[in-house]
Each structure stands twice: as structure tokens, then as C-alpha cells.
Structure 1
């Protein structure tokens, strides 16, 4: 997903409220005005200061809230965010133990439903529409992308209204990558050569807590003291790393994406964040996916605070907010354009109700109902009816079921991807809910394979890397060194099916927000791998 360069011209507007800039000085204007011209911020000034040139006739819109930079998510398997939270049956040691054929529930809850949805020409666009709306409703303005491939052999990223780290189409936001060729994933020196290309690479690293998980980090050392790590490697999860590993990782410039809720749900433990911080590892946040994580960054901030407190209050609320704004931008090399509020920066914004109390605590504490506005490139995309009607008069604003108050979405865009053109959130929701409830019947009449057919036209489907190999790996599987120094294979790929598949069962569509989802809260309460009182504390923060 990535907003187009020729997205709607917003003209000029101004927002008044508490402006939390997240600039290097942590400037906060208790009563300020943020001036926007087109896609860029023109100025951030005290409310008592004269308006900048060109804004003499623009009356600032009182947000009655606090204005933050848009939230940047560095890890999410977005298509899977239509699926509900999994009641994890036991504690696992690494990713391979729960994600493949050895776990029938994975087929029932994940691979089976997503194959049905991702291949169906009527349901696939509904997935794309729904998960993008879900990102906006949870305050996210940037996330990872949705990959598509066609019967003609083409592969591309879905282009929507939420910014996509993998396809930005603009030089001030260097594109990151999240997939590497299989050959690069099997040879540390080739992997190092890949890292020397001018792109950040976001990849799962040491996902799990046992020796097998850590071994995938150790495999990055291809000669004594020589590591396939550079500043371009952004390790997702890093739960298997110890203090010495983080020292090595930081010394070579590596950064990290932390997904605490998903880690705790699956492994009963998250990354050693105290050691990572001590080593100087730069960190961002990612909610991972709804199967074993938060619904979005607004929830993951709360999960992160609880995990930080349990580890000895490692991070302040200011540091947590920085992880989803300026630090995330630094990881991507976007800090000159996004991640803070100032003149010349892109106008990606989140407004949260209220102007009292600690400005960073206010964002971490915010419930989904507290979001008043989400804007991407100066275009108001989601928020309260009052602010949205003022900023998008005459536009098609769609009510959002399940959100408190009169919240609306603006998903129309002249540059939107044709696969979702004209599809409303309401229609997407209806299609998905019906399909997931009728999964057994739909699975019994599968869509024909997506193969090239002369004169048959182009048909797109979701590229679901979690289900079957696509020739480009999300997780580097470098050869592991045995005691003799020889390498050995690491087993089947993610989602490889070697046993008879389980029958599909009806699945409930995951709700957009936590406060409107009693099923999510009940499932969370029953999760056995979470620390004592963690689920209850998180539920209280979410609702």
C-alpha cells in the first residue's frame, strides 16, 4: 500500500491543539497550531503566533486533542488481519513448531481460510479493503505491504491509502524490502552481499526462545568475527538473542522490530529488551498479525508498556511512542520526511482526544474511541464526523460500524488500486463475514488454480508467503553450523504440508477494534502463555 503522488490535493488547513512534535528536542506545544499545505507541514507554531504566509484566511480547526506524527508500523502480515485471535494451546520454542503441518490448528485457522479468501476474485479485494481500514482505525499511517500476483506471472504491491514501506514511489522515503531470494537465504556471504544493496531489509530473525531459534542468528557469522549484519538489517522479533548477541547485532548496525504480544502468546517470553537497549539497538514496533497479536499499533503500545514494566520499566512512555514515530522513521531512513512534526515534513498525523496529562502517556493510554483524526499525506482518512466533515467537505465518508461515536472513513482515492475500486468497507465486511462463516462449503468448491490462460484476462490474488513458498523468503534460513563445523539443512519451509489437512471450520471475522470485540477479550483472558495478570491489565487498557 502506498498513497499515490497524485493523491487528492488537500489545499491548506490548520489544526489547533496540543502539538506533540517528537522532534529531537521533544518539543510539545500545549496550545499550538499545525499548518498543512498540500502533502506537507508548512509550520508548527504557538496558537498566539501569527499565521505563516498564505494562511491568513485559514481558520485553525480546534481538534480538542493532541496531535502526533502518524504511527509507523514496521511489521504486520496484513492480509491475515481478517482472522481472529488464536487460543494458543501450549508454549512453543520456535516458529517451526507451530507454523507447519505438525499443527493441524494452523491449517484450520490460518492456511485454509486464507487460501479460500486469497484466491477468490470476489473475496480477495474485500480482504484488502478490510485490513487497510483496520490499520487506519487503529491509528496506523504506515505499514508493510500487501503483495499480489497474477495468472500472467506478474507480481506487485497493492497500492492503497496507507503508506507502504516496501513501495513508496518517492525518493525522500527509501523503499525497504522484506523478501529475499532463496539462494540469498541459504548462504551467509550472499546474504551479506544482499545487505550491501541500498535498501533496508526487514526480516524475521531468531523467532523463538530455544537454541534452534538462536542458531539462526548465530548462522549470520560466516567466519570467526565476520557477520552478515549491516545497518540495513532490521531483525523482526529477535526473541532468541541474548545480551552478547545484542552487543554484536548493535555493533554491526542492526536494528530491531519488537512484537511483544505475539511473542508472549506463542513463546511465553519476549525479546530481552533491557539487553537490547543497553547495547544501543534501535527499535520499532509491529503488531505482527491478528492471529497472535494486537489489532494494531494502538494496542501494541499497551502490550509493549506492560512487557517493559515487567522487565523492570525498561522504556518510558516517551520512548515507546518514539518507537512508532521518529525511531521507526530512523530505522527506515525516513527521518527527514516522516516520524516527527515540523516544517517541510510530510503531513501524516494522528489526533487523540484530550490535552491534559503527560503527552506520551496520553497516546499509550488512548483507546480506539479516542482517535479523532488520521491523515496520510495531508488527506484526512479517518476520524470523528466533526473533523472529517470539516477537512473533507463533500467527500464520500463512510460510517465505521463498531467504533464509538460518529467515526467515518474516507477510502475513495483517484489513484486507488483498481482491484478495490468502488468497494466500500460495509460491502467488504459483509462478503468476508459470510465467506468465513461458510468456509467448509467454499473450500469444497475451490477456485481454479491461478494459471495463465490465453485470452482469459488478468486475475490477481494475494501472495500469501505464510502458506506456501513463493521463491522469496520472509525468514532467512541460513545453514546452521553443527558441532563439526559442517552445515546442515533446517527443515521444511513455512507452512509446508506433509500430513493430511484438517477439515475447515467456520471462522469469525476479526473485529476492527478491541473495545468492540468481546470474543477477542475473552480469548485473550484464556491465553495460557501470558504472564500472570497480563491479559487482565491489557484488557483494561484496551477498553
Structure 2
């Protein structure tokens, strides 16, 4: 336990150190009339990190048209004679990595302008304890700060600025990140249907609790409706007691409503027993893991190693700002630290990266289009420069534990949304300079929002920041206490 605590403390200290801002990617050939972008560098793939790899992005359809070790502009001129590319080279020897954009499958994005909850020492056993003040617990319900549209926009900016290009968040605004639970929010290159997001599948929002039967709200989910969903992401078993466990029992029992199927992703699933997870595995259902919120509210989180051993697809999600993580990288930092502390298991950065990319895309039902760098997939790509994460010799760690100051480039559908100083010529449309800590970036979001980032920031008047460098202020604890 002492070693685990020391590791966690050292991790937080490491992530708060000042970072170098030297350019790690440069434009080697700039074509003002380019219809494609050619990237070269160390590319993160499920089979491993591949240095000296080229990625050709087509602007015509926002997709990746080539991935390989040879420069297609030189070796396949007949195949791509119509291509005029701007070329970007990222130094393989300088810790720079190229990753698919992160996919956050658990976010309540309308709460993005509030402050994180303060730690009081009180732990809960079920989500209704804190959200309804039941069973002698303190009511800690959170309201939206200002307009929903502004809060959602601000939250999407925070994720986009840290390398997350898709979310499942319950609310949306046009543009910015892809909203995988709204057909209108999928963005170029993705086709319907969207994922289905359900916070109260048992219709228990009023605080209804049950331990011995399935008598919840009058309109719970039914098997036919859940079965028709492309992907059904449902909050189930958020808590640690028999009342939380009963939720899964009621949704997996053939005498009640059995919805456990390959299209189901259980959000939280904290109350489930090993036997319940064995059923999840047997039915090929999936899990969305939000360790920071679990630890802060309930004192513990899942034994994710058990789920991995059972071959359950696990995606990482931030939950929400009040008790979760502000960015996917902060959630990854928590996931690594608390798994070591609680279960003495050291998560491989590669495995955490898959929870943030291809696993998350699969959970949302878009693994054919998102979550990896491959021909035919949409060009949602992030370039991370040298960063402060643990095990920095590991190329996957450079992405999953990266600081926002290390973002070199964020592409959504091949369009530059964030670019470092050395890559600002890639920026198109209405763009502006924004400081990410001590690093200057060009951000191109005004075309999507209809207002500049600086104007929105001024209008919101000092809410929790969208740009976070280092450890976010007042971040909820990720030290398990149960």
C-alpha cells in the first residue's frame, strides 16, 4: 500500500512539472492548393508503435487513404497522380507520437462549467445517496451553470483541446467534437445510426431503490427496445451495495428484463460481482470504466484486470467534471494509479490507450470508422509531442498521459482544429492564438461555434477552464479508501 501511494504521489508531481515547448513537427512541403495532408512519424497501432510511418489524409472525403512505411508521393506516383499534399514530418527520435483521436464514451457534458465537488470525507453506497440525499447521506446534486448550450460548447472545447475528438455525452452542439449519441452530431464520414445513451434504464431518476424485486419506475427499458439499439450505453450498478447490485439482476434476468447482449455497454458496473462479469463476458457485452468518479464517490473502482482476463471490452470515460476527470489523459492517469494501489496490477500504457481509442469506438458502435489509424477510417488524428507521462520510454504512454501543452496537432476529419506554432500554416478558416499554459497554439473553432474562443471565454466569465495545463485545480481524488 505504501509503495502504491508513493507511486501515485510521484505520478502527480511528475505531471505538474514544466514542460519543454520545442517544436517536434515541421512542415517540410507546403502546398497552398493541397488536397491532401501527408504525415510522417511514429504511429500508434494496436499491434505496436511503428516509426518512420506515413499517413496520407484525403481532404475530399476526410478519410485516411494510405498508411505505410514508404512515402506514397515518391513510390506510388501513378496511384496518386491527382494528389497534391502538404507534408509534415514529426521527429521519430524526439518522443513524438501520432495517435487516433481519443473517444470518450462517458461524459455528462452539460456540467462542464461547474467546479469540481469538494472532498468532505463522506462516501456513498449508491448514486441516489448523493444525488437525492437518501439514507442519511448529504445531497450533492449539481445544477448546470449558465446555459446548457454554453456549458456543452465549453466541455467539448476542453476535450478537443486535449486530443479527444469524439464523445458520448448526452447533450451536443454542432461541430467541435463528434457526438456519437446524436445522428446530427456524428460529423463528416460517419453514418447513422448513433449510439443510445441512457442514464436511468430502470426509470429510477426520482431515487427509487429496490433490493429484492424489480419494482422501479413505470417506464423501464425493455428487452425489445434495448435490442433494437445500435449500441445501448446504460448506467447500471453505480454503487457498491445490494441495491446497486439489484439493478444488474433486474436487467439480466429472463423472468424480468434481460438486456445483456453484444450491443450493451454497462456504464460504471461498480456493483457487479465476478459471476456477473462472467455473464457479461459470455454475452459479449461491454463496460465503460470511470475510475476517478468511482473512487471519489464510492471509495473504490473496478478490478479491471479481472475484466481483461474475461476478455470484456473496456472503454475509459471521464464521467463528468464534478467528480470525474476533466480530460481523458487525467482519467488514464487515475486508472493507472488506482489499479496499482487497489489491485497491485500495473496497467500497460498500450492497454489503457486501447480503452481510449479502438475499444471506445467499439463500445459506441463506430469501430469501422473510428478508433485506429487505418485506410478508410476518418482522419481523426492527434500528434503528441514530448510529454510528462510515466514510463516515457513507452510510446503509448506519451499519448495517454500527455499534457495539453504537448498537443502538436488535432485533426477532426482531416481539418486542423488545434496546431502548434510550427504547424500553424495548416490552420484554415477563422482561427486564433490561444495559450495552452506556456505553449502557444492555433485553434480553429470559430467556424463551428459562430463565435471565437476568446469571445466565449470572456462571456463565460471565469468558469472552470477549457485549457488545462498540468494537474487541473481542485481535481477530485483518485486515492481509493475502500
- Tell me the TM-score range normalised by the shorter chain: 0.7 to 0.9
For the residues of structure 2 that align with 1:283 and 1:66, how far apart are their CA atoms? 23
Relative to structure 1, is the Cα distance of residues 131 and 372 closer, same or farther in structure 2, using a 3 angstrom cutoff? same
Give the CA deviation at 1:333.
Answer: 2.9
Counting only pairs closer than 5 Å after superposition, residues 95-106 of structure 1 correspond to structure 2 as 95-101=127-133, 106=140
Alpha-carbon deviation of 1:136?
0.8
Aligned residues: CA RMSD? 2.9
Residue equivalent to 2:425 = 390
| C-alpha displacement of 1:373 | 1.0
Deviation (angstroms), 1:342: 1.6
Contact 2:268 2:288 in 1 (8 A): yes
Contact residue 402 and residue 512 of structure 1 kept, 8 A: no
Contact 2:49 2:396 in 1 (8 A): no
Residues 270 and 104 (structure 1), Cα distance of their counterparts in 2 relative to 1, 3 Å cut: closer
What is the CA-CA distance between 1:306 and the residue it aligns to? 1.3
Contact 1:172 1:337 in 2 (8 A): no
Higher-RCO chain (CA-CA 8 Å, sequence separation at least 6): 1
Q: How does 1:61-72 map to 2 (within 5 A)?
A: 61-64=88-91, 65-72=96-103
CA distance in 1 between partners of 2:226 and 2:284 (Å): 11
1:323, distance to aligned residue in structure 2 (A)? 0.8
Match of 1:200 in 2: 231
CA distance in 1, matches of 2:261, 2:153: 36
Q: Distance in 2 between matches of 1:246 and 1:301?
A: 22
Distance 2:345 2:162 in 1: 25
| Alignment partner of 1:424 is 2:452 | yes
Pair 1:409–1:85, CA change in 2 (3 A): same
Gaps of 5+ in 2: 1-32, 205-216
2:157 equivalent among 133, 152, 162: 133
In 2, Cα distance between equivalents of 1:336 and 1:216: 32
Does the CA-based 8 Å contact 1:93-1:208 persist in structure 2? Answer: yes
CA shift in 2, pair 1:145/1:10, >3 Å: farther
Tell me if structure 1 keeps the 8 A contact 2:278–2:310: yes
Alignment match of 1:374 (pick from 410, 415, 419): 410
Q: Distance in 1 between matches of 2:34 and 2:87?
A: 15
Aligned-partner Cα distance in 2 for 1:250–1:93 = 25
- Mapped contact 1:380–1:391 kept (Cα < 8 A): yes
SS of the residue corresponding to residue 457 of structure 2 reads: helix
CA contact (8 A) 2:446 2:453 kept: no
**CA apart distance, 1:428:** 1.9
Q: 2:69 aligns with which of 46, 51, 69?
A: 46
Find the residue that maps to 1:60 and give its secondary structure: strand
Query: Cα distance, 1:386 vs. partner?
Result: 2.2
Contact 1:13–1:35, Cα closer than 8 Å, also in 2: yes
Which residue, out of 28, 46, 57, partners 2:49? Answer: 28
Provide the secondary structure at the position in 2 that maps to 1:406.
strand
Residue by residue over 1:489-524, the C-alpha shift from the partner in whole angstroms, topping out at 9 and shown as x without a partner, is xxxxxxxxxxxxxxxxxxxx2123443666325xx4
TM-score in terms of structure 1 length: 0.70
Pair 369,264 (structure 1): closer, same or farther in 2 beyond 3 Å: same
Q: Distance in 2 between matches of 1:45 and 1:213?
A: 48
Matched position secondary structure for 2:446: coil
Check conservation: 1:201, 1:233, Cα contact below 8 A: yes
How far, CA to CA, are the matches of 1:87 and 1:244 in structure 2? 35
CA contact (8 A) 1:321 1:360 kept: yes
Distance 1:279 1:426, change over 3 A: same
Instruction: State the alpha-carbon separation in 2 of the partners of residues 237 and 352 from structure 1.
Output: 29
The corresponding residue for 2:146 is 117
**What is the CA–CA distance in structure 2 between the aligned matches of 1:188 and 1:218, rounded to whole Å?**
17
- TM-superposition CA deviations, 1:90-143 (whole Å, max 9, x none): 111110111125566635xx22xx1x513xxxxx44323322211111210000
Question: If the length of structure 2 is used for normalisation, what is the TM-score?
Answer: 0.78
Partners in 1 of 2:309 and 2:332 — Cα distance? 21
Task: Work out the CA distance in 2 between the residues paired with 1:127 and 1:322.
Answer: 28
> How far apart are residue 314 of structure 1 and its match?
5.7
Aligned to 1:511: 465
User: Could you say which residue in structure 2 is the equivalent of 1:58?
Assistant: 85
Please say if residues 176 and 200 of structure 1, whose CA atoms lie closer than 8 Å, have aligned partners that are also in contact: yes
Tell me the alpha carbon deviations over residues 329-352 of structure 1, each in whole angstroms, 9 at most, x when there is no partner.
222332221111121111000110
- Whether the 8 Å CA contact 1:398–1:410 is kept in 2: the answer is yes
Structure 1 residues 68 and 531, CA, compared in 2 at 3 Å: closer, same or farther? same
1:520-539 aligned at under 5 Å gives the runs 520=474, 524=476, 527=477, 530-531=479-480
Aligned partner (choices 341, 346, 350) of residue 318 of structure 1: 350
The structural deviation recorded for 1:272 is 2.5
- The 2-side partners of 1:34 and 1:518 are apart by 33
Structure 2 partner of 1:333: 365
2:429 aligned with 1:410, yes or no? no
Contact 1:385 1:407 in 2 (8 A): yes
The Cα of 1:313 is off from its aligned counterpart by 1.9
SS at match of 2:351: helix
